[in-house]
Structure 1
């Protein structure tokens, strides 16, 4: 009996933390979304009034919400395939050797993942600066006019997304490198004896054996991009004219800058449902593929 209880005792702390900081906030946000809660209501619950679905009605009629949702979809469509493909390609290249040079490169690619976003914002803000940024300086050397990297609405989207892609590849590279260690060398050696090229072995043997790692990276990357917040917040504050405002940044602005906690909670519930539906669809597709 003691042996049977041991696993539950070991996972109890993690389960409690998940319930306290993962599940409970979802229910609290759901309750708050039906109220007009603001900063005053934090100190006096008697000031909070139940307003039903008014927050959701106003949310769906808010053009800023739909713009933020569109921006988030745009970022996800660009970021998810870019991060997954680039991290997979880099991991395959880094796995070709275990020399000191390649080990150093692995550490180098992982650095963005552990670097503070504020430091990243300072560096990239300088690189993107219109007047004295490095990119525009290099352009001036070849006679090109300065580019409004963060002032032009369309360019700002791509500029912010690029920083997030650069920052997001590091952790996924490590995941793919770990998965590559499990690829049986016998398969590769047998393919080499049959005259298969490196590209052929990668496409026909390595990538199919990485399908579980690819699925894991895909699902976590989708969730991360649907919650996209850091780069727009520190680089553009959602500008220009809301071009880089993601759903998460929109909710932050409404909740903490506008003191509309009930309204922001309604938006967070919508975001949670979107993420849940997409995640369940991915899991369903994966289950169907495994069964097949």
Structure 2
């Protein structure tokens, strides 16, 4: 047995698992998006009809889809920079030689990532409560009026952004902290000898060294934010006034509330196109910045 055949035999189980649990479902969903697959088709596949691009055309003419897309874009544009900034700031603090109890703080800041969303939602609903919430209590102490965070259409999505950033920034923090610890100390010593300030070291040493990792983190964070579903589902159920309906939430209702599985599959692939385009833009901007 030659080396090539042995290699294929070793990777065959993994390739088979990928084909069965990823490739086949994706191809099936793509085919389903060109049909009128619904609850009647679940009972009898002979009820399925090929309708071409009708699901996509109908989707583009649905006002709620555009509302969901706008809400999702707001979440991405506001949440991704905040999440990366919080992750980088926490990683820089934990990497500082002046920091103490680093193990404790790493664990504490990463704990929300592995905490059940339902438990997080219960705590945040109390924090955001109109009358008894801690945030409104602080606003009242400053002489400001309380805010109906989850009931006011203007504040519902920012509240979800805030909760999501708090819950998820610890994951990127660990990745960036590993990147910071891999930067040779000699670079900082050379910069200090040249008279570089702390800000200049951050700008000319730390950030360039972290650029590949920041690109990866930004792509992963953007992909996760485009797939926002659990937070509005648990916190607001898409309200108020549909201001927290996201594309994934819209897809869930199409597929599992109205049983329009063909339409829901079309939503999934439209979302994939948006994510793919934004990923390409991020990579192009990163290459331009590093050129």
Distance 1:10 1:202, change over 3 A: farther
Structure 1 partner of 2:71: 71
Superposed counterparts of 1:120-131, under 5 Å: 120-131=120-131
Q: 2:231 matched to 1:231?
A: yes
Structure 1 partner of 2:250: 250
Deviation, structure 1 residue 141: 4.3
Deviation, structure 1 residue 131: 3.2
Which string of whole-angstrom CA distances, capped at 9 and with x for unpartnered residues, describes residues 202-224 of structure 1? 21111110011001001111111
Q: In the alignment, is the contact (CA less than 8 A) between 1:226 and 1:275 conserved in 2?
A: yes
Which string of whole-angstrom CA distances, capped at 9 and with x for unpartnered residues, describes residues 144-202 of structure 1? 43311001111001001111111121100000011112101111112222332222212
Structure 2: distance between partners of 1:112 and 1:168: 7
Structure 2: distance between partners of 1:6 and 1:99: 50
TM-score (norm 1): 0.92
TM-score (norm 2): 0.92
Structure 2, unaligned stretches of length 5 or more? Answer: none
Structure 1: distance between partners of 2:37 and 2:68: 22
Deviation, structure 1 residue 89: 1.5
Structure 2: distance between partners of 1:200 and 1:257: 54
Structure 1, unaligned stretches of length 5 or more? Answer: none
Question: Higher mean Cα deviation, 3-12 or 146-155?
Answer: 3-12
Structure 1 partner of 2:241: 241
Q: In the alignment, is the contact (CA less than 8 A) between 2:93 and 2:99 conserved in 1?
A: no
Question: Higher mean Cα deviation, 260-269 or 143-152?
Answer: 143-152
Deviation, structure 1 residue 4: 4.6
Structure 2: distance between partners of 1:99 and 1:93: 7
Structure 1 partner of 2:149: 149
Q: How many residues align?
A: 291
Superposed counterparts of 1:130-145, under 5 Å: 130-145=130-145
Q: In the alignment, is the contact (CA less than 8 A) between 1:26 and 1:269 conserved in 2?
A: no
Deviation, structure 1 residue 77: 0.5
Distance 1:193 1:284, change over 3 A: closer
Distance 1:204 1:269, change over 3 A: same
Deviation, structure 1 residue 39: 2.3
Structure 1 partner of 2:36: 36
Structure 2: distance between partners of 1:187 and 1:105: 27
Deviation, structure 1 residue 104: 0.9
Deviation, structure 1 residue 236: 0.6
Deviation, structure 1 residue 100: 5.6
